[in-house]
Amino acid sequence: MSDFLGTLRSFEGQTIVPTTWGPDAVNIPMIRHWVETMGDTSPIHLDDEAARATGRDGVVAPAQMLQVWTMRTYADKMAGNDPSPVWTELIAALDGAGFTSVVATDSDQEFHVELRPGDRVSMTEVVESISDEKKTGLGTGHFVTTLKTYRNGDGEVVGTQRWRTLRFRPKPAQSRALRPRPALNADNAFWFEAAKQHRLVIQRCTSCGTLRHPTGPMCGQCRSLDWDTVDACGRGTVYSFVVNHHPRIDAFDYPLIVATVELAEGTRLIANMTGIEPDRVEIGMPVELDWIDADPDLTLPAFRPAAREDS
């Protein structure tokens, strides 16, 4: 085991937050605020009679509120007190080794005892486990799992929460992400190969002559499996379009125009538009073929506004 992993492992089992009692007992006003905010309409949280009808002694707090009862007060946070020097030390060790990024990966809660108004709640948190170094899609890092245990005034465990984060070394940023790859197969590879040569081809049934797009193995008209291609003339009209703003993916420039273009030959395809501001695009407008040479392995047809006939 490396010295560093040994250091990390020494944190396992250590208490991050010693037993801390919530500042207020479980109470109706806080329950009311919570259920109203969350839209929880179950009557067992505010209506004693309805709660008794379910066999309870009276109203109970929503289980998911568990964390609420022991949250630090605003004044305590503002005072800048470090609630957990052990945790601070662990994070400093991870940061020092380059694991400077964090992402929450999962949370696992268990509820054992329902809380009633007047109950006091305490919480204690320990480092449950720290993983070996793992390679993930985000980068190399360690999964850190902590366990919060909540108890009532009688010392009973009312619930637990496992909280897992990945502390990772961020991958060096690429200059620019590549466009997503098409899923190539025997039925569409020819189309993308033609695009690399700046040829927009349309699949044609050699039995009945019907043109089709997207590409496929069989003619939808006559079920023939025989086909060839014709080269599109490159003129068409905007049949429909959307302008994407979010979510933003590194490979694209935004706002991103995604149009369904009806080719002069009659088939339609989805493509980006170039050479036009999104608010100038109109359904029915004439367009002509352009090309996006995205990277050495990917060329895609795009469409720009058609040059005026008389110019």
The site for Zn ion (CB under 5 A) is made up of: 205, 207-208, 210, 219, 221-222, 224
Shorter beta-carbon distance to Zn ion: residue 107 or 224:
224
Shorter beta-carbon distance to Zn ion: residue 105 or 207:
207
What is the Cα–Cα distance from 151 to 96, expressed in whole angstroms? 35
Asked whether the beta carbons of 90 and 129 are under 8 A apart, the reply is no
Strands 298-305 and 268-273: parallel
Minimum distance, C-beta of residue 225 to Zn ion, in the bound complex (Å)? 10
Amino acid present at 237: T
Looking at the DSSP assignment, which residues form a beta bridge with residue 300?
292
Minimum distance, C-beta of residue 203 to Zn ion, in the bound complex (Å)? 10
Shorter beta-carbon distance to Zn ion: residue 42 or 221:
221
Minimum distance, C-beta of residue 213 to Zn ion, in the bound complex (Å)? 14
Instruction: Name which of 211, 10, 26, 16 is nearest 113 in CA terms.
Output: 26
Asked whether the beta carbons of 25 and 118 are under 8 A apart, the reply is yes
Task: Kindly state the tokens that stand for 3.
Answer: 């010295």
Asked whether the beta carbons of 275 and 244 are under 8 A apart, the reply is no
Instruction: State whether residue 282 is helix, strand or coil.
Output: coil
Shorter beta-carbon distance to Zn ion: residue 2 or 221:
221
Minimum distance, C-beta of residue 215 to Zn ion, in the bound complex (Å)? 14
Minimum distance, C-beta of residue 266 to Zn ion, in the bound complex (Å)? 14
What is the Cα–Cα distance from 74 to 65, expressed in whole angstroms? 18
Shorter beta-carbon distance to Zn ion: residue 13 or 216:
216
